Structure formats: structure tokens, C-alpha cells
Structure 1
């Protein structure tokens, strides 16, 4: 069986984040089972020729053309990809599109419908009701059509299922399937507090795109509260800068904590896990996080996490005792970021207690092992493919 995974963008810095990482992870899992899984996407920021393989996955990359820069990834496309879309989908037994409102994944999904190929959509929390004019035009042009006619629409959570369904109302979707994100099993882990085990100060990690939507400034707002008890604590900010780095570092300087904050930039797959293993606590302050693959990766190596209550993984984390949940609110007048930071600091301090940390670390690893390994997710996905092909 040949499966074509279509995702919007791949860059050396992994600037597009989760959807591309999920597509690669699923493809690798399928390849290990003997499935011919391939990736089609746009490539950008590469020096020299675009690669024909990404992290062990055969890939066909087309050079990204920026039509409307202010729209970000929604404003990029490739005439060459559009010209070859029908040929690409005809070569596949299943077309798996990581859908967003863009000029890459939507045309490929429409081509799959036109060519009669089994179509699986995965929305990653990116398709929800909105009043933004470009999104409404995209919905009218094709998003509603592909959602209604796809053989399966994969949703991470019940909240995502409701949001996707609201886009196509008054039609009720009957093709939705719950499919969580999965992470690859990791080696041995140490449940004890890493700061105690290596004799150094505690390390707190933010690892995600540095973008205002991820709320990295809330992470910085937590620094003073933690330094009050652990003056030597280190705060590592990791991930590609996608529009939020300057403001985040400026906030650190304004708070006088920039000496305790280190920005290490975008990380490759190996370095991601190295930093997760070295961290004592992982923090993702985003309030619109449908799953947070990086939080799952942190837990897979036994690193407790701090997430907001609106994170898609929050109920699982709370039930397992794998970290701490915090309330978080949008900025309305400049005060809430500091309040959010204070709550995050309190959660970090709880998890830096050795006994609490040890229990949360064991629970985190067990949660991923029992519910979110890539093997279990790919097993489920193969059943979905079998159903849609029938």
C-alpha cells in the first residue's frame, strides 16, 4: 500500500512545528510496518537543492513561493506542486492530508476527491469557526467540501471534533475518528530530580515555536517567582523564532532576569530529546494547544510538565498526575501575563520538590507508555486506512 502524506511546509528549523512532525512520525511508523509512506510538502529556507528525504521518510519538496507574506504559511504555495497535484494523488492508495486553510493541503485534498482516491484529513486543531474573511473564503472555496466528503477526519480531542463540525454546520459530520498524537518510545529514564542527580541548579524548559500564540512571555513572567526560591535556576527557551523572540527577550530584560534565560534556537530531533532529558520541568503556556506533541515528548522521558487547563492533553495529565495544570487568560489590559506567570511559577515550584517530582516523573512516563506511543497510534491509523479503502 502506498500512502501519501501532504503537509504545508518543512524547513531546516522546523518552523511549521507540530503538523510536519506528526506527518513524519506517522510515516516512519508506517514504513517500519512495510507500508510505502511518502511525504509531499513545500520546502523553504534550504541552502542548495531541496532534500528528497526527511528524517528517513522519502519526500518530494517543492520550493515555497510567498504570495501574501502577511498571511504566513497560509499565503505560500508552489505552482509546480499545484500542477502535479492530480498525478501525486493518483499514485497513492490513500491520501492523508494534514489540512489547514492554505494553498497547499487544500488543493491536494480537492484533487484526491476529484480523482476518487480514499481521503483522510487530519486538522491538528487548525480548522475551527472564525470570522476572519480569508478563512471564510477558504471555507467556501473548498474546506467545507473536503470535510464533508473525506472518508475520515481525524481529531485529537472531542473539542476539536466539535470545532470541525461547527465549520460545516448545519451538516453533522459522521466521518470523524479520534486519533491522538503519538511519540516514539525512549530509553531508560531517571525518576529522581535531575538537579539533585547531577548536582546543578534546576532547569526549566520551554520548547516550542517562539510565537505570541504559544505565550512564551508567560514563561518569562514565571522566572522571578522561581528564582526567589532557587536563585541559580536556569530557564531554557528553545525553538524557532516565528515572531515572538524579540518581545520575549525584551520582557526578560525588563524583569531583570535575562541572565537566567538562555535562548538555544531551533533544535533538530536528537537535540530536542537531549534538552528534554536535561530539563527538570517542561512548560508550554499556550492556551490554544490542541495536543502539544512536545509536552508528550517531555513526558516520554519522564520530565513532568506544566500546561494550561485548555491544552488538549490536560485531562490526561491531571488524571495521571504527570504534571500540573494552570489557569491562563488572554491579555486584557496588560495584567494577565504577570498573573499567568505567577501561576506557572507556583506549578514549577511544586514540581521541583523531590518527592513530588519523582511521582510525577513516573506517572508521565507511564501515561505515554500506556496511551500515546507511536506504535499504538499507527496501529489505529492502519485500521482507519483499511476502513477507508473498503
Structure 2
């Protein structure tokens, strides 16, 4: 089966975050099972020619052009737009990681026009919104592609309800909703972290992910574990300067390191070296960074509104806190050797049993087969 995975942007800094990671994981898994999977996206931040493959996945990247000052929604490529209709015709399934932007929406519309089976996965990026641009895009295109898709994948009940609110079912146009969790490839058994305790934040530096809450918890942790080290890694989306300013005000310059964006290999190395992974973000649907931490055997500390909070709490794979005030205590609990070892084993078990790539691919291929058969009927 030939499958096109379309996502908004791929860059060396991994600025677009989880959707690209999911698209790559799925494409790698599909290729390992003998299918032909390819990535379609904008490319930005590369020196020289754009790469033709990403982590072993063939890629068709188009140079990003910024048309409007609207973040990811304002970038596109004339070449991608002009060739979308021709591109989708080469594939049996067009799998679009949908956002309200000028990349994934045009590709989804092109797939509908070409009569290709269209599978949409929104990663929580398409939800009810009062913003004018969102309302315009919903009226012009989002409802059409959601209702016309052969399958719409959602992560959580919250996301499902949001999609149904954006595109209420109409006679003859029901949303074909299927739950698909994110999966994470199995990792080698972790070595027990050695040396000084190392606590890691590795996600985009944006306000919703609360990196300042992570830094604010450092003094209390140091009060009990004065040898601890801290890492704040990830592409800057407006919070790097405030984070660095807070580090300076608290006198933590020698304890908190900000290495910037991490490659996939660097992320894995950091996770295997870390004693605890912390993601203080709120209303996080299904964070890939937390799944990667669990697979590496690194206990995670998350807030209660995180989509993985219930799984982590029930499995004992880390700690769930109500807000910033609980971060330091949760980290200190997991730095206890016995508690940390127990949570590490539970994290690997949870990742392997509940979020394995094999189980995700089995479900996804079933969706693909039904969608393909439906267009051939």
C-alpha cells in the first residue's frame, strides 16, 4: 500500500513538535511492514538543499514561505500548493495530520477532489475556537474535509467532542471517527541512571507548556538534593528569554542548562541519562515526549490535565500533580532510589503494553483497509 503522510513543517529544530514525530513513527512502522510510506511537508531552517529523507522515511519537502504573520498558519509553499493534486494521485491513502494552515488543509482538499481515501489526524489542533481566522477556515475548508474524510482519528474523548463541535454531523455526512492512541517504538532496556540526579524538561518553550514552572521548582529540589542538575531543552516559541531571566534571578545559572533543540538521537540520550522527566503543561492531549520518556524507562511528572495522567497514575509510572506547587515534591519522591526504580519499571511496562507501535499499526492498517475498500466499492 502506498501512503502519503502530510504534516505542516519539518525543521532541524523540530519546531512543529509531536505531529511530525507521530508521522515519522507511523511511516517507519509502515515501511517495516512492507508498505511504501512517504512524508510531505514544508522544510525550514536547513542549510543548503532540503533533505529527501527524514530518519529513513523518503520525504518530499518544499521550502517554507511566510505569507502572513500568523505562526504556522501563515506559512506555505507555492510549489506544494500547485502540485498537491498531482502528488495525491500517486498514493492509495492520503493521511493528513490536519491543522488550520495553508499546508495540510490544501492537501486534504486535493485528496477529496481526486477521490482518494483521506485519513485525518488532528492531534488536538482542530478544536472549537472563537478566533476569526479559525472561523473563516472552518467555514471554507475544515468542515468540508472532516465530513468528507474516510476516517478521522482522535486521541481522547475531549478531542472527539471538539471535532464533533467543529463539524456537527449532517444528513449523509457523519464524521467517521476512530480512536487511535499515539504509539512509541520499543527502546533498549535502560541503564540505571548514575551520578548526580538529572531532571529533564524537553518540549517546545511555549507558555502553555509552562517551562517557567519547571525552573521555579528547582530551588526546592536543590534544598533537598543540592547535587541535582536540570536541563531545559526544546525550540523557543517565546519562553526562552523569560526562562533564562528566571534562571538568572534565582541564581541557577550553574544548575540549569538550556541546550536548545534536541535531535531524535539526542532526545533519547537525554531521556536515558535523566532520572525524572517533567512536563508541567496544561491541557496537553497526548504528548509524544512523555511517551518517549516512558519507553526509555524514565518516570514522568505531569499535570492532571495531561492526556496521559490517568495512565501514569494507574500504572505508577511517575507522578501526577495538580499544578506547579506539586512539581518539586513529585520529583523528590521519584529521586528516592527504590521509588525511582519501581516507577521506571512501570513506565517501560506501560509503554510496551498500552502504547506499542505494533498495536497502533494494527489499528491503523485496519482503518486504511476499510477506507480503501470504501472508495473501491
- TM-score between the two structures when normalised by the length of structure 1: 0.93
- Contact 1:95/1:120 (CA < 8 Å) preserved in 2? yes
Distance 2:184 2:168 in 1: 33
| Count of residues in correspondence between the two structures | 371
2:199 paired with 1:204: yes
2:262 paired with 1:267: yes
Task: Give the equivalent residue in structure 1 for 2:24.
Answer: 24
2:158 paired with 1:163: no
2:350 paired with 1:367: yes
Q: 1:173, CA displacement in angstroms?
A: 4.5
- Contact 1:42/1:77 (CA < 8 Å) preserved in 2? yes
- Contact 1:306/1:348 (CA < 8 Å) preserved in 2? yes
Task: Give the equivalent residue in structure 2 for 1:312.
Answer: 307
Q: SS at 1:237's partner residue?
A: strand
State the Cα deviation string for residues 59-80 of structure 1 (Å, max 9, x = none): 10011000112x1111000111
Following TM superposition, the consecutive aligned residue runs of length 4 or more in structure 1 with deviations greater than 6 angstroms are none
2:112 paired with 1:117: no
Q: SS at 1:110's partner residue?
A: helix
2:181 paired with 1:180: yes
Q: 1:189, CA displacement in angstroms?
A: 2.0
Q: 1:256, CA displacement in angstroms?
A: 2.1
Q: 1:231, CA displacement in angstroms?
A: 1.0
Q: 1:278-297 to 2 correspondence within 5 Å?
A: 278-297=273-292
| CA-atom RMSD in angstroms | 1.2
Task: Give the equivalent residue in structure 2 for 1:12.
Answer: 12
Task: Give the equivalent residue in structure 1 for 2:223.
Answer: 228
Distance 1:36 1:363 in 2: 35
Q: 1:268, CA displacement in angstroms?
A: 1.1
- Contact 2:169/2:175 (CA < 8 Å) preserved in 1? no
2:340 paired with 1:345: no
Task: Give the equivalent residue in structure 2 for 1:333.
Answer: none
State the Cα deviation string for residues 98-120 of structure 1 (Å, max 9, x = none): 00000000011011111110000
Distance 1:315 1:169 in 2: 29
- Contact 2:214/2:327 (CA < 8 Å) preserved in 1? yes
State the Cα deviation string for residues 236-266 of structure 1 (Å, max 9, x = none): 1111122211111111111222321001111
- Contact 2:146/2:175 (CA < 8 Å) preserved in 1? no
Distance 2:230 2:240 in 1: 15
Distance 1:213 1:355 in 2: 32
- Contact 1:11/1:43 (CA < 8 Å) preserved in 2? yes
Task: Give the equivalent residue in structure 1 for 2:238.
Answer: 243
Q: SS at 1:258's partner residue?
A: coil
Q: Structure 1 unaligned segments of length 5 or more: list them.
A: 329-339
State the Cα deviation string for residues 296-347 of structure 1 (Å, max 9, x = none): 111111110001111111111111110111113xxxxxxxxxxx1x311111
Distance 1:361 1:221 in 2: 25
Distance 2:300 2:174 in 1: 34
Relative to 1, partners in 2 of residues 1:279 and 1:173: Cα closer, same or farther, differing over 3 Å?
Answer: farther
Q: SS at 2:281's partner residue?
A: coil
- Contact 1:234/1:261 (CA < 8 Å) preserved in 2? yes
Task: Give the equivalent residue in structure 1 for 2:58.
Answer: 58
2:45 paired with 1:45: yes
Compare 158-167 and 100-109 and name the one that shifted more.
158-167
Q: SS at 2:224's partner residue?
A: coil
- Contact 1:165/1:173 (CA < 8 Å) preserved in 2? no
Q: 1:77-156 to 2 correspondence within 5 Å?
A: 77-156=76-155
Task: Give the equivalent residue in structure 2 for 1:36.
Answer: 36
- Contact 1:201/1:230 (CA < 8 Å) preserved in 2? no
Q: 1:210, CA displacement in angstroms?
A: 1.3
- Contact 1:97/1:121 (CA < 8 Å) preserved in 2? yes
Distance 1:104 1:93 in 2: 20
